[in-house]
Amino acid sequence: MAVSGAGAVLAPAVPSPARHWPRRWQEQEPLLERQHERLEALLTTLLQEHIQPLPAERLELSDQAEQLACRRLLWDLRLHLRLEERWLERWDALCPGHRGNHREAAQAAIAGFVSRAGSRRGRLAWLQELDGWFTAHRQGPDAMAYALARQRSPAPPATP
């Protein structure tokens, strides 16, 4: 089952505690982009899994695994949104509307999952909605905020 094979997708997207968090936007942006890519990969995997019909004997076990993977997606998404807000705010590139959009999206994602978690078909519709929001948000508000952060962050030091 691909959900259990999604271990690489679920790998931590943050540096180990021994490392310091990046302080410059030029180092922060690639980390946020890698998180975007991991979230997109997990969404794609979950969508593919939910589209595939399952034999009755695997349904209960697969259903539990898929629900856990969806919960992990929600957890990772919320962590990503908080980190993104913190770093964009540092570069004065986070407008109140962007923050509000994150809050609304997180609340809607949680509410949507809770109301549809018990049904594969319901989770599929929820995943499709979340995927649509995530793609539009990444190409719209995130792209504009990232460009503004690039403008407002100091240039990296010149190498000799």
CA distances from 139 to 36, 65, 118, 132, 135 (A): 11, 30, 31, 11, 6
The answer to whether position 3 is within a domain reads no
Report the number of distinct structural domains present in the chain.
Answer: 1
Contact criterion met (CB below 8 Å) for 20 and 52: no
pTM over 0.75: yes
Helix and strand numbers, DSSP H then E, in the chain: 5, 0
pLDDT for position 61? 75
Q: What is the mean pLDDT of residues 15-30?
A: 82
The answer to whether position 55 is within a domain reads no
pLDDT single digits (tens) 93-121: 999 999 999 999 999 999 999 999 889 99
The set of residues, in sequence order, having a beta carbon less than 8 Å from that of 87 and lying 6+ positions away, is 25, 28, 32, 149
The answer to whether position 31 is within a domain reads yes
pLDDT at 7 over 50: no
| AA letter at 80 | H
The answer to whether position 19 is within a domain reads no
Say whether 2 sits in a helix, a strand or coil.
coil
3-state secondary structure 62-77: HHHHHHHHHHHHHHHH
Domain housing 104: 24-47+62-151
The answer to whether position 13 is within a domain reads no
